[in-house]
Amino acid sequence: MRLRLRARAFALRELVDEVARHSPARLAIVVFAAVIAVFTALLLAPWATASGTSAPFVDALFTAVSAVCITGLVVQDTATYWSLYGQIVILTGIKVGGLGIMTIASIIGMVVSRRIGLTQRLLTASETKTSKLGEVGSLVRTIIVTATTLELAIALLLFPRFVVIEQNVGSAAWHALFYGISAFNNAGFIPTEEGLLPHVGDWGLVLPVALGVFLGSLGFPVILNLYRALREARGRGLGRRWSLRLTLHSKLTLTTSLGLLVIGSVVIGMLEWRNPHTLGPLDWPGKILAALFAGVMPRSGGFNTVDVGAMEQSTWLVTDALMFVGGGSASTAGGIKVTTLAVILLAIVAEARGDRDIDAYGRRIPSDILRLALGVTFFGATVVLLSSVTLLHITDHTLSRVLFESLSAYATVGLSTGITAGLPDAAKYLLSALMFVGRTGGITFAAALALRDRRRIVRFPEERPIIG
């Protein structure tokens, strides 16, 4: 019996490895579709709801997609509608989805790096110290250990504050663990009835959640590179030069993420400073914390300490832009990714200066990366446009709310202006599909473009069209 199980496990591993080598995009889609089907079935059980009756299929599907795609949009309140069993299923879906995204994205990155030219492959390997495809098991173990360690660290930071608030150790431990996993995975699911709204000025509760979201949005490659750089620098007594050991990807992710965080927080704070329904009633420290939190969440966090539906429409528009960008590659965040934005901005700067190459931090970025960035951006914008147009036809909501909801679903953010629960079933199915495409589509589309390395023997004469 053991030999049979080992043989089947070995065969399954070989099959997965073969699919990962030749069709990583198909692997991502199939895996996530299968996982969503399983969690939908688990949430359809009568004991998954607090009332003891089976949830409607559309609500179970929507919740499963939102959990596995680590979005956070909900059609039923997580704390009151679902039972403890249902909440455990949702939390497990978040954990599986978060690990799946980081693992599949890392494997696809490894596949792509081995389908490019020899010179670029050697440079990539020397910079990132990427594992070989045969070491997928080691990669998965590293991702699981890293993610779980950071999730528990966030939970431990939250636990003392929940003990003070709830006066119950068991409940405090559960909520701290739930928020820790939900925050690091950028899921945005809330296990407490009132969420974080009553704690808008509570630094001890709000700040660890924001920290967890930001760390999760950086991505596994950046977190691992930061850890290795700090460890090597400390071991060699070069603490002041640890940043020199960071890869170009890490530097672009960190600088762009921090820049968007500062800009987003400042702009949202300015727009909402006097809004009587959001930041207006708060004192100065409370306003600063709320603005900072609101600047972090569009990374793909989905939590909120003020009523998003009561924000100014100008704030919605700024948040739309931040959500569309999202977080880092191979992370739990969604969007087109910060490195995509960084490459496009660097290309604009290079063109304005008249430079032939796109340079950053002493490295030259290949032109095919720019084409890939433009393709991913256009793909995301097209999907959001089509979904927004469809939602306008099947609902009676305004463009500003529909656009916000579409971007939140596609970028797997989870923020909402308050219309999700009241949407018709057709709109719920559409947003479910949008979350699925947003979570798997960007990865698979980028991989498909990157792997299409077609070399032509005959090249046409060059001619420059007029632009602008």
Please check the confidence at residue 456 and state whether its pLDDT lies above 80. no
3-class secondary-structure state, position 44 = coil
What mean pLDDT comes out for the span 428-455? 74
Lookup result for tokens 């700067």: 349
Q: Encode pLDDT of 357-381 as tens digits.
A: 899 888 999 888 888 888 889 989 9
pLDDT of 242 reads 55
Q: Encode pLDDT of 97-139 as tens digits.
A: 887 766 665 555 555 555 444 344 433 343 334 444 445 556 6
Please check the confidence at residue 88 and state whether its pLDDT lies above 70. yes
- Domain definitions of the chain by residue range: 2-451
pLDDT of 243 reads 58
**Those residues with Cβ within 8 angstroms of residue 21's Cβ, 6 or more apart along the chain or in another chain:** 111, 133
Q: Encode pLDDT of 159-192 as tens digits.
A: 999 999 988 899 999 999 999 999 999 999 999 9
Please check the confidence at residue 95 and state whether its pLDDT lies above 70. yes
pLDDT of 116 reads 42
Inter-CA distances, 166 with 172, 272, 306, Å: 6, 30, 21
Report yes or no: 397 and 419 within 8 Å, Cβ to Cβ.
yes
**Those residues with Cβ within 8 angstroms of residue 43's Cβ, 6 or more apart along the chain or in another chain:** 55, 60, 63, 64, 82, 86, 89, 90
Q: What is the DSSP letter of 53?
A: S
pLDDT of 131 reads 44
Give phi and psi for 82, each to the nearest 5.
Answer: -95, 145
Q: Encode pLDDT of 418-429 as tens digits.
A: 999 899 999 999
The token pair at 304 is: 């909120």
pLDDT of 199 reads 93
Q: Encode pLDDT of 239-291 as tens digits.
A: 456 555 788 999 999 999 999 999 999 999 999 999 999 999 999 999 999 99
The token pair at 25 is: 């995009």
